[in-house]
Structure formats: C-alpha cells, structure tokens
Amino acid sequence: MTVQFPAEFTFGAATASYQIEGAVAEDGRRPSIWDTYSHTPGRVARGENGDVACDHYHRFGEDVALMKQLGLDSYRFSLAWPRIKPDDGPVNAAGLAFYDKLVDELLAAGIEPAATLYHWDLPQTLEDRGGWRERDTAERFAEYAAVAAGHLGDRVKKWITLNEPFCSSILGYADGVHAPGAQEGEGALKAAHHLMLAHGLATQQVRSAVPDAQVGITLNLASVQQVSDSPADAEAARRNLLIGNLIFTDPVLAGTYPDHAREVWAPITDFSFIQDGDLATSHQPLDFLGVNFYFPSRPKAVAHNEPDPAKRVASDLGVESVVHDGEYLTEMGWPVDAGAFTDLLTWLQDAYGDALPPIYITENGIACPDVVREDGSVDDQDRIRYVGDHLKAVKAAMDKGVDIRGYYLWSLMDNFEWARGYQPRFGLVHVDYDTLKRTPKASFDWYRNVSATHEVP
C-alpha cells in the first residue's frame, strides 16, 4: 500500500563526525575518547579506527553534491567538539572554518543544515579529568555550545544538543562497549545525569546566541514489548523502560526522575550528585524531540550477571532481549519489526501528551550484506524494504495523532560503525574503503524518488 506524506514533511539523511570525517590530527583537532578507544587493542573489531574513515574532511564537496543529487531537504551532521574547543585553551579557528565551508556548501545546494553538538566524541582531555562523571564536563559543553552556535547560528537554525545519551552513559560507562570503555555503576548514572544537565545548559546557550533557533535533543528509545504475563517478565519490562527511556525522557520532557529509579539503583548510589535546580535546567522548552529507532526491545527476566547488588553496574538489570525463531536479523544482529516503531511513537504521545514537542525521526536505517556486483552496483533491496516499512510505520503514528515533522535516514554513506568497525554498512552510498570511491546504491535512487514525491510505495 502506498502512503503519502505532507508536502512540508522533511526528508533528510544523517552522519556523525568521527564516523566519516577522518583527518583526526589536522588543523588543530585534538584526540577524542573515540581516538583513544579505537587505538586500544581489543576494543574495535579488526583493530579498525576512524583516522581516515570516509575522508569527508577533504571530500565534503563531493559528498554535498551527492546530497543534492539525492534531493535531500536537510542534512543532519555533527560537529566535532575536539576540532572546535579541544581543551581549556582558545577556540580552534581552523576547526570552525571547516564547518563554515560545509554549511555554506549545503546552503548553496539548497539543503538545510541540522547540526548536532555532541555525537560521542568527547575531548580526551576532559575524560582524563573524569569525563561525563563530572559536573564540570557539562559546564565545558555549554561553553563549546556557545562558541559553535555563536559562530554558525547566522546560517544554522536547527540544533540538536546530544545524540543518544543512553549510549554515551550506559554503553560507555557501564557496559564498556563504547568509549571510554568503563564498567561502573555510579559512574554511569552520574554520566547520564550530567549529560541531561549539559543538554539543558547548552540549550540555554544556543537560544541566547541564536534567538530564532530550533533546538532539540536526540534520544534512542526502546519500544518495550512485554514477552509474557509473568511477574518477573513484567518487572524486567519495567526496568528496561526505565533505563532505555525514562531516565532521559522524564528529565527532558517532565523535569523529573521516575520514582522507581532510586529503588532500582539504591544499592550502587545515593544520588547525591543530583543538585537542586538540575532537573529544572534539564527541562528546557524544546522545539522538537529527535527519535532514533532501529529495532524492538523485548525484555525477558534473567539472572543478574553480578549477584551482589552493591557490585552491579548500571546496565546489569537482569534483562535479556528476546529474538524469535526464524526472525530476520540485520547485519548488526538486530530483529526487524516496523510495527514496534509505531508503538514507540504512540507511547511517547500517550506518556507525555501536551508536553511532547513535535518529533523528527533523526535516525533510522539498516546494515545489510551489501554485495558489490561486477559492474560496481549494489542492489540493496533489504534496505529499500526496511526503510519503506519504517516510513509507513511513521505515517501510521502520524495518522494516530503523533506530530512528526521529518525523517533522517541513517546513513548517507557507509562509515565507521563504532566498535563494529567498517564491516556493517548502513549507507545509501557505498564507500570503497581502499579507494574511498563513492557509489550510490539502488536505495539511493529509491529514496531520491521518495523525497521528490513524498510518496512511499
């Protein structure tokens, strides 16, 4: 069944600085936690890193030309904090100059720039002082936000403070599978709180520098599906909803923390790092909420990894995600369930009502086993099917009253997929990592037609 989106609906694509830029030691850029993490043996698959990535830093003109060919309304990219204000020293003018050129190129191509201030590349100098465990990092982030918005705000009007603070805090400081690779309990919860504080402080700075800015935050949220009626599985779903959604959505959208957060984490922290006024700061008026979605969440109760509650890390909730027999899995090992996307979006509306601002889908996409044919083409029908089904899921939520203004596909091009390295490919454009040649896939032409017609077949 074909669905039609409104004429004003935004169709875009997204990337992130460390995943595509390369040039990690050029023009004053200093190391981030991902430089350190990816160069630590055993952290990233096959020992790969983002030193070169897609070399977007030198090839951005070619990449913007591809965006124009694709017919994008908007391009979501992230600024590299270590390029702009890598330490306590002066602002790095050369780093800002790169984003000047990129933004000007986008505007000349008729593409709206949407800038994310933080997509995980914390300057290593700040991590050496405690990173997101420390309140001071939130203050430093606000300073950086003021510089970036003050410089680019005459041309960039759409700003996203943070991308996926769940990953920065829980995957980075509890699970240890993302930079900086820590496995802590209280440290991860401090990181989550200070990220929310940083979001609020940065929002204030962006609004001060750019009075006509649209400001939001991007959250990767869990579409929690209870797998059985057992009390244990019901409680597992409750804990999964807490750590996947509520410790981020409640501060941002309601200015609170869930009551049962203290109950779940009481053995590992006393929450003394939460100061008076913090939640009010986190709860800034938003112009939009960015939502990232890739797969459903089906939490099943299992034994805790650590039997002693006082020794558990924040992510040890006694939850395991269920995969059904014979279910299609992406190259990341994620199950596909577009209906869960509709459920998530309607849950947001039901949970927050009038407090929910308009939504942009800021990431959605799939890593496929892309095969390059002898003629160089990539016929990625799996991606076309996935994106088509998920766009229809978005429209189904809109038909139920959810205010959704746009969709940014992840990703414009294949790139460095964090701890998975370069093997998973999410792009509309194939990148040959030996030659850095860009080749549009079949999905590129399909998405160009969707963007042009606002119609999904």
26 known member of a binding site: no
CA distance 376 to 290: 35
The mean per-residue pLDDT over the stretch 265-271 comes to 95
The mean per-residue pLDDT over the stretch 96-125 comes to 98
178 known member of a binding site: no
The percent of the chain in helix, strand and coil, each rounded to the nearest 5, is 45, 15, 40
Q: Is the pLDDT of residue 310 over 90?
A: no
Structure tokens at 181: 């690779």
The mean per-residue pLDDT over the stretch 91-95 comes to 98
Q: What is the pLDDT of residues 329-348, one digit of tens each?
A: 999 999 999 999 999 999 99
The mean per-residue pLDDT over the stretch 79-92 comes to 95
Q: Is the pLDDT of residue 292 over 90?
A: yes
Q: What structural domains and CATH numbers belong to the chain?
A: 3-456 (3.20.20.80)
Average pLDDT, the chain: 97
CB contact at 8 A, 297 and 225: yes
CB contact at 8 A, 368 and 380: yes
The mean per-residue pLDDT over the stretch 411-421 comes to 98
The mean per-residue pLDDT over the stretch 274-302 comes to 98
Element (H, E) at 83: helix 81-84
132 known member of a binding site: no
| pLDDT class of 88 with cuts at 50, 70, 90 | confident
Q: What is the pTM of this model?
A: 0.98
Residue 67 neighbours by CB under 8 Å, 6+ apart: 13, 75, 106, 109, 111, 412
Q: Is the pLDDT of residue 124 over 90?
A: yes
283 known member of a binding site: no
CA distance 368 to 116: 26
Closest CA to 160 of 111, 122, 113: 113
Structure tokens at 351: 């949970």
Integer distance in angstroms from the first to the last C-alpha of the chain? 6
159 known member of a binding site: no
| pLDDT class of 77 with cuts at 50, 70, 90 | very high
Structure tokens at 182: 């820590």
Structure tokens at 439: 């080749």
Closest CA to 201 of 117, 262, 120, 259: 117
Task: Tell the burial category of 29 from Cβ atoms under 10 Å away from its Cβ (0-12, 13-18, 19+).
Answer: buried
> What per-residue confidence (pLDDT) applies to 348?
98
294 known member of a binding site: yes
Q: What is the pLDDT of residues 164-223, one digit of tens each?
A: 999 999 999 999 999 999 999 999 999 999 999 999 999 999 999 999 999 999 999 999
Secondary structure (3-state) at 429: strand
Q: What is the pLDDT of residues 31-54, one digit of tens each?
A: 999 999 999 999 999 999 999 999
> What per-residue confidence (pLDDT) applies to 87?
87
The mean per-residue pLDDT over the stretch 362-387 comes to 96
Catalytically active residues are 164, 363
The mean per-residue pLDDT over the stretch 129-139 comes to 98
